[in-house]
Structure 1
């Protein structure tokens, strides 16, 4: 008797991410290809699993299996322990299923359009379906070899808990064991948790691994095992169950929470249910009524009927009884005579019965089928069991791959547990939304990894998937999915062909990359007058929407002050009054506008300076950026300054010379009418004054072999000839700076004083002095050295200060970046500046780089983990009766780690604290002490946790003769790196000696 249907449909849940490894299929793409081609992954038992001759008997005698075949995955023992910061000693002690799940969950999150690091600390839930652990069978009975790591490395709960711990997920975390239905029950539980708002994202996993023949023997003895190791679902030649293994993970999220830029979901969970057979005719015997009941409830939860289903992914093991019961249950959920036939299939024909992972395998198959609107063929459809009478039940098997129709599609997925716990999920196809692509032309492809080799490996994988017609969305996707790890590379481009060309040459740079340093300190350097030119930054306005928007906003604000449009002057070369862009009254507000727009644009990307410096008129935008002047006040003052300087009678000259300050000062003092206008570097000065006086200086310097260059200017700026403008600037400053709050904000190096500004320095007199006194740029830049800036970014339309700083070496440890180098700048340099900052550890908010139409995450290739580390103990390598401890510390391809011999006294001297600390760390973590670096993070890089903390404390004390071991609270405190641990132990040694 079935229950009454529910009255209210469940809210839908998106299936947003998928990853899997099944027999003959190492990825979702491979899995789909296997299904569509109608192939299988069944093979003979690999010799490294167990010796089949010791356990095989075609007649299925006691303690023997009747088959030599099953569905196996390749190399399950490979594990990138370094990536997850898990010590080798712990990796050896972990159930291989834990390792498989870690890899798969990471890739599933990426497939969902999420950077796995971005979900740290979130309430993401982890639900793992699993029904056996051969690893635990082999290890937990070896009492002599028991260790703390082995204890926590086993247990079903620890598979889920390991994921939550490693990724720092705070939502529900549990393992589900309902035998064969475990992972589909986990799907139901995860969907329920989402609907109940116990979590906002859920990861569901199913995993199964065959390391011993235990269940093969059980199935044989229970009369359930197929002699050829093949499941033949709904076939007349079905001879029983063929085993399979693998791992699959899906990421779920409430449909109502779908982000605008998220990838299209594969499918929607419309409803689901779980139930039990109750007291059937045997604990392991299925009942039609139990299956019918759970399917009815799931359909009701989805507000659907069986007539709505387009296909059904059945449990279908190929056993005569099981298939018959399932078909009759399916017939029972159809009210009256079926009006159409539905396709019936079972993934077990392709990969075997994956036990704890069987449900997730069928679920993933159904999701992919809805996504592609194709149902793969049902293997053995040509051998259909006539006793099932499928046609009269409204069912049929797919002989080949069949394309589904248009409109909303529905699918049912069943999974029935050996002990009677049944699950059914109703899936729906999502509504597809087409978005026109954006009109942007700038993109930056980002890839991260945990070391250089991994970076090169993953860069190659991402590069191989670049599509010329969608490269911008792929760049956008990489920024959001592939940017969270410590070793980085960024490739800026203005087109697909340029991107591919750069990628082809980037492998060596990627391989040589190292961990990104922390704590970038950026200086913004604001260019002075003379950098302007017609159409400056116009291309950037069109290529970078954010910059164009900010420049228009600044232009509107300035137009209320100046009475004309700065953008119009930039584009045409003259303002509304017909004045040239090179006229002081026009150029100074124009430079100010461009600089403020650039500052605001960088802020959109999350790039903000730690200090500023401005060259002459550049000080106005610098002061705004530093928070020492309000934008409106600075705009009024820079406009007044330009007008006042424009009003000064034209005349005078300026001369750039490659000579030192002392030489320049002596010359200037010896010739009336000339002075020093700027000191840009140790051998770079600018003279200004009366034309004849400046000409005389030029002749003297040329005679001494000094290179000089006459500057094209309207006035002798920063000289006594500009004195008539001082009073007007002072008066204007008195109006706009009254009451200005210039309490300590960002440090600002003054090119008037050559020192860092103090609170209250920006007085009207300061701005008056700035008109006639020399620009002490070199001295001001050197005043910033104590702040230890890592980068200097020039803020202006031309690379002027960049060259000065490189030549002067005033900030030798800073990377100099020029986002707009000059007239031919096409925006690529701006993107390259962001790329360089990001590679150096600055967190960039990339969205502002792209047109809104390109804000769509595309699925990229999953992370390519290292396969160089192998940790395998199986029945073949351990022996079912031999002590596991004898081999548990070894694995193929990885030599046992010992203290390396070296000539470095710090490593060989037994009394060296450094040597002792690294030796103990190497011993407890199975690291080579010589490989341990002071900057390595104990937790993230070496897996230093509560267990290893206790082990370290216990071992370091006797090694160094400490009276007392360091307390766990000391090691748990702020000790983050190997070097800090050495310092702590050194301190304890000194205290011990007292």
Structure 2
């Protein structure tokens, strides 16, 4: 048998709600046994069943809204199903998977569930049988319900082999993985003690413990105490788990299942069958019994069962071995969780191997001497045992009352130490984006608080790996939160601030928000010359592996034409630090691109920055809907749009830079706070000065000889018009650039049609079929930059929600903001100047995620941070409670009561309905909408205030095909004038409550005409 990794766990057992609580209960040697909750049954009425047992706290809590299940359906569901759904969600999260990401995958679900008490309790009253009870009471639905709600298409089956059900489910899941039927599997079991019936059976058989406590292998053992429990593990093939960097709790080396056959009684255990299943499991696991350090036994605490099991264990494990085989049973802590008993022991063993501590077995202080444990080479664990270093092998047994036996062999997980480069240990923590998502604003606040509390309890340190884990797990739900952070202290503080901002004042509704209703539409604006500064983007180069990779690619492409490294010249110390040397530091200061820097280095460097930033964002999932480049920025824009290859653009940029460097000095540029029309008179007096750029209605750049610019500046100042000389050594976009244009026009350019819309700042509009060939680049060099017109065209045609500036510091976004030409778009910059770092890039991605982008998060993190870190599980709402056993009438069993409303019969005039129900949210004086609301309320069992006009049938109200048919019948009964309408006719209108009402109103009008 191949090795299977246990990569995720979730559980809830008596006194232990969650994996950590379960482990704390085990190592603390505590018991979860208590009195029977009043909602189950009155113990005094069934004394033979006992007055205590193991019961899960709040077993009636179920967040039906989260799973889009109507209150009426939730009330009809077997509590086993209600416990399994959130357990499955949390187990997948614990495995480092966002449950929604598995939708449509062949993930398998294998659930052990024993008996069918819910069906017996609900289906016996034939007058009250409903379709929802039919599906809600089926044991097979225990697995199918998970597969349906998570949209999993792999094997899905419920297993009932009595007490061994959940361990048999694990065995089947492992075999399914090995057979290639699925790549991920959820396996486990569930048990809810709904009635005293099975307790009465145990009592009549003499198997019930008088105090409701199992005392496995103890001298006081007198029988079984029944208990609730739910547990699921996420299983993957070990090779796949290791390759993906999953955290592995333990390794399932092998398992076996057999049957007693015809032995000494249908419900009596069989020693020889137990021996055979143990040996079969060890053969499949490729281990000898002598290698097994401890066994989590079935250990029910019955006299016969304990004796037979110890005889079988001793026969297999006892001889010969150097040290006795340790045994124990979790039933001493929990009681007998029946269908979930095997998974309770399996999870205990996996956690013991993970923490390298085997908890003591309760009631072991006085072991049953008649079991002769010492003689048989066995040792009952009276205190916790710390496991030695190296691999440890353990066994888990679970035996069914009908004779189906299962045994699993687990081993400790392989050690995979992480190597962290010295430079990363020395640096401050890398920045990441911590994400949390939830189904409602209130749920988001609740989960933000849970994450803050859990992270505050951790040791301080870097936050990058935690952020990366949150991106893999805590995304996918409609309400989103994202926060950039470098360390856990910064992260906890930010989460706590977010909780405070989302906490409503007493009596106020919860603030809405945090939900994007679409995806962002992003346009890239590429900055031109004038945005450069010494060592530009050095912080981002140091911290972002993706940016580093793309900048180095641009550097290599430029070096082939330039004959030197732009990276060394511009980034200098930052680049050298990445390579562990100091080469190039002197050049960094000489040619690093101050505003008066040398064009043969500055222009290629700006292109490298623009190209690398754009490629980094695209790798992160930020795909631009359009691009715009300002002057030199058009080269990187053209590469991003697919017009030029990187090599072609690099050659062009270097040619432009060298031609520019050969120009004589004496030219310059000045920015003027006025429009071109206002400058006409001044320009007429200085014919050598031209408009170089029209950036906005009152934002013009002039270009020409320095003396002429100075004279214009004095004249404009006298008119009260502000001017500011730019630190430019040349009169760009003027006739002085004619030699550069001629040089560019002389060399052919291989260009392709644009794959993205391009806003051309040469033409001041969206590029149509014009090629960006040599003629384009020549004209673009000496003609004015029509930025304002180009941006206006982009905003009009593309309607971007976000403008992301691509350059070493903000320039175009400030110009656009001054011009008021943004069209409501939000401005973002991933590298906002000399202080910019990887955190600014992370914040750009975080802002877009909050607005609906689903980033490729992995690209944000260095390899050493791409590891799984445990996070607090999703906290579901506890507001919705359903009885954990059905009352006399199977009606919605939601504890919160909806407001009383007048009864409406099919004979009630609609005028009376509207007069008696003046609720604007649910219809007001619209009789058709009122009738639809009433019908939806009746079918779904929702409080009336939930059924608003905008509520969507499938996403918000959880209606399925059966409920739609019931809704059709009720609507027709309430609105006789509609007549008969087929479901096919209704389907297009089933978008929302309001759309259905509008459709029905139209039907009435058409039939009245």
Query: TM-score, normalised to structure 2's length?
Result: 0.91
Per-residue CA distance 1:393-428 (angstroms, 9 max, x = gap):
111111111112222211111111111111111111
Contact 1:613–1:619, Cα closer than 8 Å, also in 2: yes
Contact 1:316–1:348, Cα closer than 8 Å, also in 2: yes
Deviation of the 1:763 alpha carbon: 4.0
Alpha-carbon distance in structure 1 between the residues aligned to 2:268 and 2:346? 23
Task: State the partner residue of 1:333.
Answer: 316
> Which secondary structure does the structure 2 equivalent of 1:694 belong to?
helix
Within-5 A mapping of 1:425-824: 425-437=408-420, 439=424, 441-466=430-455, 467-469=459-461, 471-508=463-500, 513-571=513-571, 581=593, 582-665=597-680, 667-669=682-684, 671-732=686-747, 735-737=748-750, 740-742=751-753, 744-785=754-795, 786-824=797-835
Deviation of the 1:527 alpha carbon: 0.4
Task: State the partner residue of 1:420.
Answer: 403
> Which secondary structure does the structure 2 equivalent of 1:250 belong to?
strand
Contact 1:22–1:351, Cα closer than 8 Å, also in 2: yes
Alpha-carbon distance in structure 2 between the residues aligned to 1:338 and 1:719? 93
Contact 1:44–1:68, Cα closer than 8 Å, also in 2: yes
Check 1:981–1:696 CA distance in 2 against 1; reply closer, same or farther (3 A cut): farther
Alpha-carbon distance in structure 2 between the residues aligned to 1:933 and 1:217? 48
Task: State the partner residue of 1:5.
Answer: none
Contact 1:307–1:340, Cα closer than 8 Å, also in 2: no
2:882 corresponds to 1:871: yes
Contact 1:138–1:884, Cα closer than 8 Å, also in 2: no
2:849 corresponds to 1:838: yes
Alpha-carbon distance in structure 1 between the residues aligned to 2:586 and 2:408? 69
- Tell me the number of residue pairs that the alignment of Structure 1 and Structure 2 aligns: 963
Contact 2:534–2:592, Cα closer than 8 Å, also in 1: no
Check 1:776–1:161 CA distance in 2 against 1; reply closer, same or farther (3 A cut): same
Contact 1:207–1:248, Cα closer than 8 Å, also in 2: yes
Check 1:942–1:716 CA distance in 2 against 1; reply closer, same or farther (3 A cut): same
> Which secondary structure does the structure 2 equivalent of 1:624 belong to?
helix
* Match among 178, 191, 197 for residue 208 of structure 1: 191
> Which secondary structure does the structure 1 equivalent of 2:375 belong to?
helix
> Which secondary structure does the structure 2 equivalent of 1:407 belong to?
coil
2:202 corresponds to 1:197: no
Contact 1:84–1:940, Cα closer than 8 Å, also in 2: no
Alpha-carbon distance in structure 2 between the residues aligned to 1:35 and 1:387? 26
Moved more, 97-106 or 456-465: 456-465
> Which secondary structure does the structure 2 equivalent of 1:224 belong to?
coil
- Give 5+ residue unaligned stretches, structure 2: 504-510, 573-584, 903-915
Contact 2:554–2:650, Cα closer than 8 Å, also in 1: no
Contact 1:180–1:357, Cα closer than 8 Å, also in 2: yes
Contact 1:487–1:516, Cα closer than 8 Å, also in 2: yes
Alpha-carbon distance in structure 1 between the residues aligned to 2:808 and 2:381? 65
Alpha-carbon distance in structure 2 between the residues aligned to 1:869 and 1:367? 33
* Match among 393, 399, 409 for residue 382 of structure 2: 399
Check 1:537–1:346 CA distance in 2 against 1; reply closer, same or farther (3 A cut): same
Alpha-carbon distance in structure 2 between the residues aligned to 1:614 and 1:630? 16
- Give 5+ residue unaligned stretches, structure 1: 1-9
Check 1:314–1:972 CA distance in 2 against 1; reply closer, same or farther (3 A cut): farther
Contact 1:596–1:621, Cα closer than 8 Å, also in 2: yes
2:29 corresponds to 1:38: yes
2:33 corresponds to 1:23: no
Moved more, 572-581 or 83-92: 572-581
Per-residue CA distance 1:895-928 (angstroms, 9 max, x = gap):
368699556498213345x555444434322335
Within-5 A mapping of 1:240-255: 240-255=223-238
> Which secondary structure does the structure 2 equivalent of 1:736 belong to?
coil
Contact 2:899–2:944, Cα closer than 8 Å, also in 1: no
Deviation of the 1:510 alpha carbon: 5.8
Alpha-carbon distance in structure 1 between the residues aligned to 2:824 and 2:901? 39
Task: State the partner residue of 2:579.
Answer: none
Moved more, 502-511 or 537-546: 502-511
> Which secondary structure does the structure 2 equivalent of 1:379 belong to?
coil
2:63 corresponds to 1:52: no
Check 1:133–1:884 CA distance in 2 against 1; reply closer, same or farther (3 A cut): farther
Alpha-carbon distance in structure 2 between the residues aligned to 1:664 and 1:991? 65
> Which secondary structure does the structure 2 equivalent of 1:676 belong to?
strand
Per-residue CA distance 1:677-704 (angstroms, 9 max, x = gap):
2222233222223334433443344344
Query: TM-score, normalised to structure 1's length?
Result: 0.92
Per-residue CA distance 1:359-411 (angstroms, 9 max, x = gap):
11111111111111211111111121111111001111111111122222111
2:84 corresponds to 1:101: yes
Contact 1:575–1:586, Cα closer than 8 Å, also in 2: no
Deviation of the 1:616 alpha carbon: 1.0
Moved more, 96-105 or 651-660: 651-660
Deviation of the 1:265 alpha carbon: 1.6
Contact 2:226–2:335, Cα closer than 8 Å, also in 1: yes
> Which secondary structure does the structure 2 equivalent of 1:413 belong to?
strand
Moved more, 781-790 or 715-724: 715-724
Contact 2:267–2:402, Cα closer than 8 Å, also in 1: yes
Per-residue CA distance 1:26-49 (angstroms, 9 max, x = gap):
011111111111110111111122
Contact 2:164–2:341, Cα closer than 8 Å, also in 1: yes
> Which secondary structure does the structure 2 equivalent of 1:685 belong to?
strand
